[in-house]
Amino acid sequence: MNAPLAGVRVLDMSRVLAGPFAGRMLADLGADVVKVEPPEGDITRLWGASIHGISGYFNQQNAGKRGVSIDLGVPEGVALVKALAARADVLIENFRPDVMVRLGLGYPVLRDLNGGLIMLSISGFGADGPESRRAAYAPIIHGESGVLARQARFARGTAVDMAVSMADTFSALHGLVALLAAVHMRHATGLGQHVEVAMIDAMLVTDDHLHAVLDGVEEADAPRSEVWQTAGGAMVISGDFRHLWRQLNGVERVADPAPPGADLAQKIAARRAAFGHHLTVTCADRAAVIAALDRMNLAWGDVRTSRMALELPTVRQRGTITTVDDRGGGRRPVTQSPYRFSGATSAVRAGAPHQGEHNAAALRDWLGPELGDPARWAPALCEVARA
């Protein structure tokens, strides 16, 4: 009852990650998020471990939402979405830019039904540009934005995509910020609006290395933080190596190993070798490595697997992982809301819905007993048998 967005209605028509992640955060903040799926379901229902008919990926991104399944290929399906949009505060979609228009669900149509509606559209390359029709998933944006090429140069290897859908989550979070700003603005004006986010924009604006290119400066040949092998295992140590060397030389009193008259490349190679030797030989074990890094006031972290990350004391103390009903009489782990308020509550409230699970309840809650009667919309509604 103390959730910041309690009473806000969100119609989530999005798929996979960029839109669903924004919807998941809204649900954690207390909004009533109703996810609309086509008859074939969200593709992510096939990804990850299936427990009692719900996959892990789908569960993580759609926990706390209610689910309806609507066939937009029939007139009744389009009419039903219009009826729901007329009662919604927010609508989220991440189709290609022309799809909602072709369905007869473009923003001008929905605005005429509900002047207070805030619609978030996320696409790869924007709604009306020269590349707006391109299919775009996170790896495409990672490649097009320059991030993969930079990472390959830093690693002195070939370009390989990141094992995290960063472009999707960046776009979701930027979209979330814009949505909440629009909700705030509606309090003053009474009017909704269409918020449009291009994934390529979100990726570039969130790229903290882009300044070098913008200023015409050559990007650094090596990252500011590197992974070093130490007597305590692989550790990422933060900071430009010039700073690391100054600390090693000044605090640990390691003499400069570079011979007189050495050129810059020789100096760098010798000093890097000395730094590595200090962490693997001079420091004989993990405790000694950590003590040396702490003396040098260098930020460090273990290179952990995701499973190991769940064992971090901070993760356990903050309850970053919680559990929800697994829909089979047990509990299932899921990520908790990351937001901590001093005077409000944000938390995952339930697991993800089965496809079409709330066809009846959500329609009646939003549309009332007569307009929300599922029988009225029978040609458009789908429900999948549960495992």
The single residue listed with the structure tokens 């471990």 is: 49
Structure tokens, 10: 């969100």
- Give the 3-state secondary structure of 75-109: HHHHHHHHHHHCCCCEEEECCCCCHHHHCCCCHHH
- Give the 3-state secondary structure of 11-74: EECCCCCHHHHHHHHHHHCCCEEEEEECCCCCHHHHCCCEECCEEHHHHHHHCCCEEEEECCCC
Given a cut of 60, whether residue 62 has pLDDT beyond it is yes
Is the Cβ–Cβ distance between 377 and 80 less than 8 Å?
Answer: yes
The residue-averaged pLDDT of 248-266 equals 95
The confidence band for 221, taking pLDDT boundaries of 50, 70 and 90, is low
- Considering the chain, tell me which residue range(s) the CATH 3.40.50.10540 domain(s) occupy: 9-208+321-377
pLDDT in tens, 20-43: 999 999 999 999 999 999 999 999
- The 10 Å CB-count burial string (b at 16+, else e) for 342-369 is eeebbebeebbbbbbbbbbebbbebbee
The single residue listed with the structure tokens 């990252």 is: 223
Given a cut of 80, whether residue 264 has pLDDT beyond it is yes
pLDDT in tens, 357-372: 999 999 999 999 999 9
Share of residues in the chain with pLDDT > 90 (%)? 88
Give the global pTM: 0.91
Strands 300-302 and 233-238, sheet pairing = antiparallel
Mean pLDDT over the full length of the chain: 94
pLDDT in tens, 157-211: 899 998 899 999 999 999 999 999 999 999 999 999 999 999 999 999 999 889 8
Nearest 5°: CA angle at 302, between 300 and 306? 135
Count CB neighbours of 147 within 10 A. 21
Burial class (CB in 10 A: 0-12, 13-18, 19+), 199: buried
Instruction: Give the model's pLDDT for residue 40.
Output: 94
| Phi-psi domain of 333 (left: phi exceeds 0; alpha: psi -120 through 50; beta: other) | beta
The residue-averaged pLDDT of 343-350 equals 95
CATH assignment of 9-208+321-377, given 3.30.160.270, 3.40.50.10540, 1.10.569.10, 3.40.640.10? 3.40.50.10540
Given a cut of 60, whether residue 387 has pLDDT beyond it is no
pLDDT in tens, 68-110: 999 999 999 999 999 999 999 999 999 999 999 999 999 999 9
Catalytically active residues, by annotation: 168
